[in-house]
Amino acid sequence: MRNASRNHYEPLRSAFGSFVAETTFIGNCNLMVGGPADQILLAGAATSLRARGAPDLHTLDLNHITIVPASGAKHVPYLVYLARGRDVERPALIVLLDGDGCGNAAKKDILRGGAYRKQLVKPKYILQMGDLTTSAGIRGATGHPLVETEDIVPLPMIVAAAQKYVREVCGASSLASRSARVRKAASMRLSPSQKKVTKPTDFC
């Protein structure tokens, strides 16, 4: 290992041993994605759809499918090799990549094969987000072609999540109320002539 700091799996690998650490999160049926954000979005969407009574064909059964995240698209080919390139038993595997440059490069690496340059995954089992736009006409929240997994999130949900983050993490509500009190106190100190500002030109 030339540079352990660049390998996100090296601490676990060193602690548990190469075989156990590298195959812990790989199940019998796997959906391999670029990173934790993709895993969280897809698992959350599957859970929400199943709670709303969506048919099995329209969602993922997380009891049978393991969503395996890599720490970036460049690590996906290595995980594919770990899952299907070393043992006699090869678990079922589908790869989902973004449609950007990193996703394109990862797809080329996977198709090139593992250490022995043997096909580990058939091309039809390597999907990119842009394929959903091309084959099914699915587009992002603003109507643009899909590029990343985040593009499938509806725009109102993005706004609601951003507002919740600002409110709960940044304390926006307390800041807003404090600002309102400051503005009110400042206005009480102004004279009637100072309060009478109705046009932008009054500031000139």
Domain range for residue 171?
154-190
Residue 59: DSSP 8-state = S
User: What does the pLDDT look like over 145-191, one tens digit per residue?
Assistant: 999 999 988 888 888 988 888 888 887 665 555 556 656 655 555 55
pLDDT at 16 over 90: no
Q: Residue 199 CB: number of other CB atoms within 10 A?
A: 7
* Residue 196 domain flag: no
Q: Are residues 67 and 132 in the same domain?
A: yes
Q: Are residues 55 and 136 in the same domain?
A: yes
Q: Are residues 81 and 174 in the same domain?
A: no
| Of the residues 105, 127, 152, the one at which a domain ends | 152
Q: What is the pLDDT of residue 182?
A: 55
Mean pLDDT for 32-54 is 91
Closest listed residue to residue 128, CA positions, set 188, 175, 76, 194:
76
Q: What is the pLDDT of residue 90?
A: 82
* Residue 20 domain flag: yes
Q: Are residues 118 and 179 in the same domain?
A: no
pTM score > 0.75 for this model?
no
pLDDT band at 19 (very low <50, low <70, confident <90, very high): very low
Q: Are residues 144 and 158 in the same domain?
A: no
Q: What is the pLDDT of residue 100?
A: 93
Residue type, 151: D
Give me the residue label for tokens 């060193």: 14
Q: What is the pLDDT of residue 89?
A: 74
Label each residue of 107-167 as H, E or C: HHHHHHCCCCCCCCCCHHHEEEHHHHHHHHCCECCCCCECCCHHHHCCHHHHHHHHHHHHH
pLDDT at 131 over 90: yes
Q: What is the pLDDT of residue 117?
A: 81
Residue type, 32: M
User: What does the pLDDT look like over 53-108, one tens digit per residue?
Assistant: 999 888 888 888 889 888 889 999 988 988 887 767 788 999 999 999 999 999 99
Query: How many CA atoms lie less than 13 Å away from 24 in the CB half-sphere?
Result: 12
Give the total number of structural domains in the chain: 2
* Residue 168 domain flag: yes
Backbone angles phi, psi at 68, to 5 degrees: -105, 110
pLDDT band at 194 (very low <50, low <70, confident <90, very high): very low
Q: What is the pLDDT of residue 56?
A: 85
Q: Are residues 75 and 18 in the same domain?
A: yes
* Residue 200 domain flag: no
Residue type, 167: R
Q: Are residues 64 and 110 in the same domain?
A: yes
Q: Residue 41 CB: number of other CB atoms within 10 A?
A: 17
Q: What is the pLDDT of residue 2?
A: 46
* Residue 43 domain flag: yes
Q: What is the pLDDT of residue 10?
A: 47
* Residue 198 domain flag: no
> How big is the CA angle at 127 (ends 140 and 144), to the nearest 5 degrees?
15
Q: Are residues 107 and 10 in the same domain?
A: yes
Query: What CATH number has the domain bearing residue 87?
Result: 3.40.50
Contact (CB, 8 A) for 73 and 97:
yes
Round to whole Å and give the CA distance between 121 and 68. Answer: 15
Q: Are residues 184 and 132 in the same domain?
A: no
Q: Are residues 18 and 76 in the same domain?
A: yes
* Residue 75 domain flag: yes
Mean pLDDT for 121-130 is 94
Q: Are residues 24 and 87 in the same domain?
A: yes
Q: What is the pLDDT of residue 109?
A: 93
Q: Are residues 39 and 63 in the same domain?
A: yes
Rounded to the nearest 10°, the torsion over CA 107, 109, 110, 111 is: 90
Contact (CB, 8 A) for 84 and 121:
yes
**How far lies 184's CA from each of 96, 101, 144, 188, in Å?**
53, 52, 44, 6
